[in-house]
A and B are shown apart, each in its own frame.
Chain A
Amino acid sequence: MQSRDQEEVIAQYLTRRMSEVERVAFEQKISESPQLSQKIEFEKQIAQGIKNYKKGILKSRLDQLELSPSAVETTSIVTKTILAGITAVVIGGLSYFMLTPDEILVIENQETMIGNDGMTEDENAKISLDIDTTYAILSDKKEDERTSSITKYIENTRIKVSKKQSKKGSKSDKVTLQSEVEVVLPDMDGTEMYFDEPFDSLQDFSDDLMKNQAQVNSVPELEIEIEMKRTKKLKYIYVGEKLTLIGDFSASPYQIIEDNTIVEKKLYLYFEQEYYVLTVTSEKKALIPVKDMRLLDYLVDLRNK
C-alpha cells in the first residue's frame, strides 16, 4: 500500500468513514501488523488532538457569550426563582370545617401586592367579606439583597382571597374564620445534593422553566370550594380557575400548591401525608396519591422549603 493511500485509509478508519465490511477487514490487518497498530495509535492521538483543538475554540466562544443576568444569577438564584414562582400555597385549616357540610368556602378577590420590602396590602384591595386573613411576610431582613432579587421575579404576583358566605344558622350573622394565605419563599441556602434521573415531568417542567426564567407571571385567581362528604373517597373537580374538593377534608389541613412558572400551570394538593396532581376536569375525578418517587421528592422538597 502506498504511503498516501495508507494515510487516507487510516484517516477513514479513525473518522468512521468505512463501511462495516471495510472496517472488519482493516481491523484484521491491524491485528496482524504491530507496526500498523502502532501507527494507528499515533494517528488516533493526532485526531483526538485536532478534536480537542476545535473543542477549545468552541469553549472559548461559549465563554465569551454574554448571558442574560437571570441566567448568570442561576448559580444562586435559579432554585429560588423556581420556588418563588412555583409556590403559592393556600393552606386550608380545620376551621374551614366548622361550616356545615353543605357550606362552601370560596377563596377569591382579596388582593395583596408584593413589593421590594416584602408584602404589603394593596389599598385598593376589596375585602368583601368577614374573613380574617393573615399574610406571611416575604421579606427576609438578613438577606435584603437576595430578597430584592426574588421580588424582581415576583413583583407582580397577586393573591386573591375572600370568603363567599358565612355560616348558615350561626348564632351570629358574622362568623370570623381564620385562614391563612402564605407565599412560600425558597430556602435561600438550599444546597441539597442529589442526582435526579431525567424524567418526563421534570424535564418538561425544566424546559418550560427556561421559557419563563426571567419572571413569574401573576398568580391566576383560584377559587377553592370544599364539598364536605363523610366518605373516605376523595374527589375533585378542576375547571376554569375553580377547584372543588369533594370528600372529608376535616381531619387535617390541606395545601394547594400552584406551579405558575410554566406555560401550563400545574396544581398539586397535599393532604394527610399524600400529594395529588390536580388536572383539569369538569367531572368528578378521584384523587390518586402521587407514587412517582422523583416527583414526590420534588414536591416534598418544594413544600418543605
Chain B
Amino acid sequence: MTEQQILDHISRGDETALDYLYKKYYPMMTKMVLKNNGTVEEANDVYQDALIVFWQKVISGDLKITSKISTYLYSICKNCWLKELSRKKRLSYTDQEGSIVQSEPEDIMSKVVQDAMEVLGDPCKSVLTYYYFNEMSMSEIADRMNYSNADTVKAKKYKCKKRLDVLIKKNYAQEDFFN
C-alpha cells in the first residue's frame, strides 16, 4: 500500500489502516522507547497513543503531509515518550515528598464520560464519536450511518448528547462525592 493510499483509508475512517500502520512501524517506534529506558508495556502504550494522535490529525485534516508517515509517527512517539518521562519524574518527586496523589478532576470526568458512553450504547456512541473524535461533518456521518441527511444526524446528535449529559450528571455527582 502506498503512503497516499494509507492516508486515503485513514481519511475515510477505515480502521484497518490503523492496524496496518501499527504492524508496519511497530519495531521502529517501540525500539525508540525501549532504547530510552522504557519497558515493553510503556513502548506499546506510547506507540499506540502516538498512532492515535496521528490518526486523529489525518482524519480531521489537520495534517499536511510533507514527509514520510514514519517521520511524523516517530516525532509524535518521541514527544509522547518525553511527556510520559516527565510525568513519571513528577510522580516520583511527589512520592518522595510524601504527598497523597489524588486523581485530577479531568481524569474523574473522563472516566465518568466513558462509563456513560458504554451505557448509552449504539447508535448514539457512534454518532458522538464520529462528531467529537473523528470530527466528521454531519453529511459524512449521515453517509457513514445511512441516515437520510445531515439534519437527521444533527437532531440525532442533539438527542444523544442530552442523554449522555443526564448520565454524566448523575454519575459525576456520585464520583465527586466519593472523591
Contacts and interface: CB of A to CB of B under 8 A. Distances in A.
B123 to A, nearest CB: 14
A194 B48 contact: no
B74 A203 contact: yes
A52 B114 contact: yes
A173 B170 CA distance: 97
A195 B133 CA distance: 31
Interface in A178-217: 191-195, 198, 203, 206-207, 209-210, 213
Main SS at interface, chain A: helix
Nearest to B24: A210
Interface in B136-158: 154, 158
B34 interface: yes
A53 B125 CA distance: 10
Contacts of A58: 15, 18, 48, 52, 55
B114 A56 contact: yes
A59 B52 contact: yes
A293 B70 CA distance: 21
Interface stretch (A25-33, A65-73, A100-108, A239-247): A65-73
Interface residues of B, number: 56
Contacts of B158: 4, 7-8
Interface stretch (A74-82, A229-237, A274-282): A74-82
Interface stretch (A41-49, A90-98, A146-154): A41-49
Interface residues of A, number: 46
A15 interface: yes
B161 A49 contact: no
Given A56-B114, A67-B23, A79-B31, A194 B36 contact: yes
A61 interface: yes
Given A49-B110, A49-B113, A78-B27, A62 B18 contact: yes
Contacts, number: 135
Contacts of A194: 35-36
A68 B26 CA distance: 10
A65 B23 contact: yes
B58 interface: no
A54 B18 CA distance: 13
Given A11-B161, A47-B132, A65-B19, A55 B35 contact: no
Nearest to A74: B27
Nearest to A203: B71
B80 interface: no
A50 interface: yes
Contacts of B128: 50
A51 interface: yes
Nearest to A191: B35
A171 interface: no
B31 A48 contact: no
Given A58-B55, A210-B70, 8 more contacts: A8-B158, A16-B135, A46-B168, A49-B111, A61-B18, A75-B30, A79-B31, A203-B74
For the complex of A and B, the 8 pairs showing the least CB-CB separation, nearest first, are A49-B113, A74-B27, A54-B133, A50-B132, A45-B109, A54-B129, A53-B114, A49-B110
23 contacts: A15-B135, A17-B135, A46-B165, A47-B132, A49-B110, A49-B112, A49-B116, A50-B129, A52-B113, A52-B114, A53-B125, A55-B52, A59-B49, A65-B23, A74-B30, A74-B31, A74-B34, A79-B31, A193-B37, A198-B74, A206-B74, A207-B68, A210-B27
Interface of B: 15, 18-19, 22-28, 30-31, 34-37, 40, 43-44, 48-49, 51-52, 55-56, 60, 68, 70-71, 74-75, 78, 105-106, 109-114, 116-117, 125, 128-129, 131-135, 154, 158, 161, 164-165, 168
